[in-house]
Structure formats: structure tokens, C-alpha cells
Amino acid sequence: MVASPMVSGMGRMNEVADIDCKVVVEAEENDMDDAKKIIKDMGGILDNPNVREPKITGDGDKVFDMAFDRLRRNL
């Protein structure tokens, strides 16, 4: 049996994302670029490193319908 590199400790540190805080900023639309610049200048990131969003290629509705049908068959 093979363990995941993240579980076994053999993986690189960047494979295990550990974000301990989240900052929510409320800003006017015309101040958004300034707010983003401040966050980046202070070492923050704007993307969520803990979630990889699936990339759907092709017809999104068709992919959704196929996935939903597969889910229904497995219930």
C-alpha cells in the first residue's frame, strides 16, 4: 500500500497548503485596485490556495448533465 506524499511526510512543503487566516475587505469599487495592491504588498494572496477549481472544457451544461446522471445512477 502506498501513502500519499502529503501524509507520509515525503512530499515537498508546498504540497501541503496551510492558510491560517482570512481577511475580508470591504471597499468601494473604485478602491478595489488599491485594496488588492495593499494586500499583495503586505505578502497576502488573492486566490484561495486550498481549493483547486475544476476547469470545464467544452459545453458546461453537457458536462453538468453527464455528471448529474452519473450521480443519479450511483445513488
Whole-number pLDDT of residue 59: 79
Q: How confident is the model at residue 2 (pLDDT cuts 50, 70, 90)?
A: low
Res 58: pLDDT: 72
Residue that the C-alpha cell 453537457 belongs to: 62
The model carries a pTM of 0.42
Kindly list the domain boundaries of the chain, sorted by start residue: 19-48
User: What average pLDDT does this structure show over 65-75?
Assistant: 84
Q: What is the pLDDT of residues 7-45, one digit of tens each?
A: 666 555 555 555 667 788 899 999 999 999 999 999 888
The pLDDT of residue 36 is 92
HSE-up of 34 (CA within 13 Å, CB side)?
A: 6
Q: 44: helix, coil or strand?
A: coil
* DSSP assignment letter at 11: S
Residue 64's pLDDT is what?
A: 83
